[in-house]
């Protein structure tokens, strides 16, 4: 099938590359000329495992191309995915101005039937707005459909998640839209594609469930899912805070809970809280749209509050150990909002760092992937060539992103190079016994 993807960011580029990989003829459009230039040269504009190779392979096969011209994308196909940003406004409401603008442009430029599919995360009833915009600006010259197809991929495992999703959800209001979307996803549903990832396919030849709902339900499924996951994280963080007070170990509590198949072990890692471009803004937008429609989502407001407090409670731990921050050198391991990505958006690590600097500390930072972008946004940090270099001469070491490679560092040698071998592990990355054995004082989240 010919497919157009508008917005070539973390979702659009992965979707475009994977849709080409499963055999479609895809044009990805973006209004950022530097992204298009890099992609045409085979370079991914951000780090995501497996993606750059997939982009290059499908460009060579002639199934994936990039354009900075919206008209070209609209003319290419009748199936158009919107993968545009939906950032938060100060009120918490999702900013849908880009979605509105592009929809308006599609309506005026369309040369025939179009199926406009929102893959961006949008509040419930946004599809109705897109539908209305198409009606108003197309002059009803051509037929069109508007569908919702939320994306559930996670950065760091995005290619894997797209090709082996737990489910595909399509929200449609017509048989034609349903038929087209089933056709788009047929190779994923049947698991008929060539790409070999390092991780084996977890599906054992089973079909991927494709759930067809109406548009409003589909939009709600995305917000409800992300908010539920955020709630799990805040739940275990609340438990961790209680563990700190009573001398229990939150990793053991989480393990004991997670064996229960009704609960499951995922998203029960205590730490300094969730961040990234999805959970914080999606929670806010969900609370906002619920309120607008007459439901005060108190449960989710509390989830947000607990998350915001995690950074403060971690900083309190730092201060309890270091006492005065002014004049101290603090090493920070990890800047990205989670491992295996260079995405800094709404990263709790940066929230911690800003507060350290406000209190007069000097911060020496290292992140395996996110330092190029961080240098531009936070020029006042000292960026180091390695994790060990960041810790040298520091009064304390803070672990803020759980990159697995930090576990490989020779802590014994490192402890001798610090002014004070003190580690505050905001992600419970390390085994406390191992760190203490290496000569460190050690504090973590919800563990004695
Ligand atoms: P992003 O900022 O990485 O990508 C958006 C892209 O749209 C950018 O490349 C930008 O240049 C481009 N763009 C902006 N205006 C444009 C225009 N007028 N025409 C063409 N391109 C334009 O955002 P993202 O992380 O890919 O997220 C996109 C949507 O998907 C959001 O709604 C997000 O909530 C949702 N989502 C994100 C993730 C994730 O892990 N990042 C996962 C699932 C869903």
Tens digits of per-residue pLDDT, 281-296? Answer: 999 999 999 999 999 9
Contact 11, 56 (CB under 8 A): no
What pLDDT is recorded for position 205?
A: 65
Average pLDDT over residues 248-268: 98
Residue with token string 């973006």:
30
Distance, in Å, from the CA atom of 357 to the CA atom of 166, rounded to the nearest integer, reads: 42
What pLDDT is recorded for position 204?
A: 65
- Residues 93-102: pLDDT tens digits? 999 999 999 9
Closest Cα to atom 3 of ligand 1? 9
Q: Is 107 exposed, middle or buried (0-12, 13-18, 19+ CB in 10 A)?
A: buried
Going from the Cα of 252 to the center of ligand 1, the distance in angstroms, rounded, reads: 38
Average pLDDT over residues 345-366: 98
Going from the Cα of 9 to the center of ligand 1, the distance in angstroms, rounded, reads: 5
Whether pLDDT at 198 is above 70? no
Cross-strand partners of 422? 441
How confident is residue 207, by pLDDT bands cut at 50, 70 and 90? Answer: confident
**Residue 153 Cβ < 6 Å to ligand 1:** yes
**Residue 425 Cβ < 6 Å to ligand 1:** no
Q: CA geometry: angle at 393 spanning 338 and 424, to 5°?
A: 40
How confident is residue 199, by pLDDT bands cut at 50, 70 and 90? Answer: low
**Residue 271 Cβ < 6 Å to ligand 1:** no
Question: In 3D, which of 177, 306, 142, 296 has the Cα closest to residue 232?
Answer: 306
- CATH tag, 214-448: 3.40.50.720
**Residue 219 Cβ < 6 Å to ligand 1:** no
214-448 shares the fold of 2-212? yes
Query: Looking at ligand 1, which atom is closest to the CA of residue 282?
Result: 34
Residues known to be catalytic: 278
Query: Looking at ligand 1, which atom is closest to the CA of residue 277?
Result: 41
Output the pTM of the full model. 0.95
Distance, in Å, from the CA atom of 321 to the CA atom of 317, rounded to the nearest integer, reads: 6
Whether pLDDT at 128 is above 80? yes
Q: Which two tokens stand for residue 155?
A: 């950065």
How confident is residue 200, by pLDDT bands cut at 50, 70 and 90? Answer: low
**Residue 32 Cβ < 6 Å to ligand 1:** yes
| DSSP assignment letter at 407 | G
Going from the Cα of 120 to the center of ligand 1, the distance in angstroms, rounded, reads: 7
Percent of the chain at pLDDT > 70 equals 98
**Residue 338 Cβ < 6 Å to ligand 1:** no
Q: Which two tokens stand for residue 75?
A: 């003319």
Residue 415, classed as helix, strand or coil, is: helix
**Residue 48 Cβ < 6 Å to ligand 1:** no
Going from N- to C-terminal start, the domains of the chain cover 2-212, 214-448
| Matching CATH number, 2-212, of 3.40.50.720, 3.40.50.150, 3.40.630.30, 3.10.20.30 | 3.40.50.720
What pLDDT is recorded for position 234?
A: 98
Average pLDDT over residues 48-56: 95
Going from the Cα of 37 to the center of ligand 1, the distance in angstroms, rounded, reads: 18
Distance, in Å, from the CA atom of 73 to the CA atom of 59, rounded to the nearest integer, reads: 16
Closest Cα to atom 44 of ligand 1? 151
Going from the Cα of 13 to the center of ligand 1, the distance in angstroms, rounded, reads: 9
Average pLDDT over residues 45-73: 96
Average pLDDT over residues 228-237: 98
Closest Cα to atom 16 of ligand 1? 31
Distance, in Å, from the CA atom of 387 to the CA atom of 406, rounded to the nearest integer, reads: 7
Distance, in Å, from the CA atom of 155 to the CA atom of 13, rounded to the nearest integer, reads: 12
Going from the Cα of 366 to the center of ligand 1, the distance in angstroms, rounded, reads: 27
């Amino acid at each position: 099938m010919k497919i157009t993807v508008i917005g070539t960011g973390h979702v659009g580029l992965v979707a475009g590359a994977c849709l080409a990989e499963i055999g479609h003829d895809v044009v990805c459009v973006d209004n950022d000329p530097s992204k298009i230039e890099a992609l045409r040269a085979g370079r991914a504009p951000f780090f995501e495992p497996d993606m750059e190779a997939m982009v290059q392979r499908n460009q060579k096969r002639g199934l994936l191309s990039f354009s900075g011209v919206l008209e070209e994308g609209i003319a290419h196909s009748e199936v158009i995915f919107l993968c545009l940003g939906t950032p938060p406004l100060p009120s918490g409401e999702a900013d849908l101005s880009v979605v509105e603008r592009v929809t308006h442009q599609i309506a005026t430029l369309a040369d025939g039937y179009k199926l406009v599919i929102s893959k961006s995360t949008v509040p419930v009833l946004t599809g109705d707005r897109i539908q209305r915009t198409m009606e108003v600006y197309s002059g009803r010259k051509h037929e069109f459909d508007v569908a919702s197809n939320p994306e559930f991929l996670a950065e760091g495992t995005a290619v894997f998640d797209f090709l082996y999703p737990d489910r595909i959800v399509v929200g449609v209001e017509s048989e034609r839209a349903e038929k087209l979307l089933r056709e788009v996803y047929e190779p994923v549903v049947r698991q008929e594609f060539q790409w070999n990832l390092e991780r084996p396919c977890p599906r054992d030849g089973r079909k991927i469930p494709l759930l067809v709902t109406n548009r409003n339900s589909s939009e709600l499924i995305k917000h409800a899912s992300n908010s539920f996951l955020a709630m799990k994280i805040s739940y275990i963080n609340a438990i961790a805070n209680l563990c700190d007070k009573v001398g229990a170990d939150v990793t053991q509590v989480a393990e004991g809970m997670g064996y229960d198949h009704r609960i499951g072990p995922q998203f029960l890692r205590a730490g300094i809280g969730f961040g990234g471009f999805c959970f914080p803004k999606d929670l806010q937008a969900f609370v906002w749209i619920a309120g607008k429609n007459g439901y005060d989502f108190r449960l989710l407001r509390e989830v947000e509050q607990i998350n915001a407090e995690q950074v403060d409670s971690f900083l309190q731990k730092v201060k309890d150990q270091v006492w005065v921050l002014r004049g101290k050198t603090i090493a920070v391991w990890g800047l990205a909002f989670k491992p295996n990505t260079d995405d800094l958006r709404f990263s709790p690590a940066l929230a911690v760092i800003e507060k350290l600097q406000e209190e007069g500390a000097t911060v020496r930072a290292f992140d395996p992937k996110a330092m190029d972008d961080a240098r531009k946004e936070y020029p006042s940090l000292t960026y180091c060539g390695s994790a060990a270099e960041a810790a040298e001469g520091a009064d304390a070491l803070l672990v803020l992103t759980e990159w697995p490679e930090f576990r490989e560092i020779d802590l014994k040698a490192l402890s001798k190079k610090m002014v004070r071998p003190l580690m505050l592990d905001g992600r419970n990355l390390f085994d406390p016994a191992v760190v203490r054995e290496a000569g460190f004082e050690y504090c973590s989240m919800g563990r004695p």
